[in-house]
Amino acid sequence: MFVLLVIYLEDWWALAVVSMLVLARFFNIIIIRRRAAMGWKGASEPGTQGDLLILLSADRWIRMRGAVDDLKAITSGQWLREPTFIESSLTAFSTLLLYLDAALAGNAKQDGKLLLLVLLFCSVGLLGLANQYTDKFKMYDRLVQVKGEPQKFARRLDLAKKLIKETGREDWAIRLGMIAPTKTSEAMDEDVGPKTM
């Protein structure tokens, strides 16, 4: 629809700007799809279930549960392989197109500039809505999705206590520094071997 409006207004500069944006995005999509090849993710552990606690910024945590092989595929290893010379060149060309695009946008007619502005605002708005309402994504043929509502805890210790009660173990919480070792856990550590720093 945007392209038709620009053609109707006979604003060829605005059409060139949009075409360069589309071409740069197309190159980047192709390159990312080529580089997102599944690499080595560790030894296979079929049938083993896992539970992974991931620390984010601002003292937020994500708990991922599922098959260990699926958890490894999503969280470990390198997500994107190193780019080849041609892929690096195409990425550089796409970046150059974006800079050129910004320089040439000023040549568009006033109506074309307004249409470009509306297009950019719509695109940012749609991206924001998509991010807000996305509750699952697919990576390496594995589906990651949110189950349940986020839980708030007054303190990190409350989270640790709940998970210790659920798992029946506290060694992981001690290693993460979420709780201080108790006399029982210290005695168990001494039986296992020396502590590492």
Q: What is the pLDDT of residue 193?
A: 46
Q: Which amino acid belongs to residue 194?
A: P
Centre a 10 Å sphere on the Cβ of residue 70 and count the other Cβ atoms it contains: 20
pLDDT at 99: 94
Cβ neighbours of residue 172 under 8 Å, at least 6 residues apart? 53
Does residue 3 carry a pLDDT above 70?
A: yes
Q: Count other Cβ atoms within 10 Å, centred on residue 17.
A: 25
Distance from chain centroid for Cα 168:
31
15-66 pLDDT, tens digit each: 999 999 999 999 999 999 999 877 777 788 898 998 888 888 777 888 899 9
The lowest-confidence range among 1-15, 100-114, 153-167 is 1-15
Q: Work out the mean pLDDT of the chain and round it to a whole number.
A: 85
pLDDT class for 196, splitting at 50, 70, 90? Answer: very low
> Phi-psi category of 162—alpha, beta or left, where left has phi over 0 and alpha has psi -120 to 50?
alpha
Contact yes or no for 146/136 (Cβ under 8 A)? yes
Whether pLDDT at 187 is above 80: no
- 3-class secondary-structure state, position 36: coil
Q: pLDDT-based confidence at 183, cuts 50/70/90?
A: low
Max CA-CA distance within the chain? 81
Q: Which residue has the higher pLDDT, 125 or 171?
A: 125
Q: Per DSSP, what are the bridge partners of residue 50?
A: 66
- Neighbouring CB atoms inside 10 A of 60's CB total 9
The CA dihedral of 157, 158, 161, 163, to the nearest 10 degrees, is -110
pLDDT in tens, 82-131: 999 999 999 999 999 999 998 998 898 898 889 889 988 999 999 999 99
- Does the predicted TM-score (pTM) go above 0.75? no
How far, in Å, CA of 131 to CA of 118, rounded? Answer: 20
The confidence score (pLDDT) of residue 73 equals 86
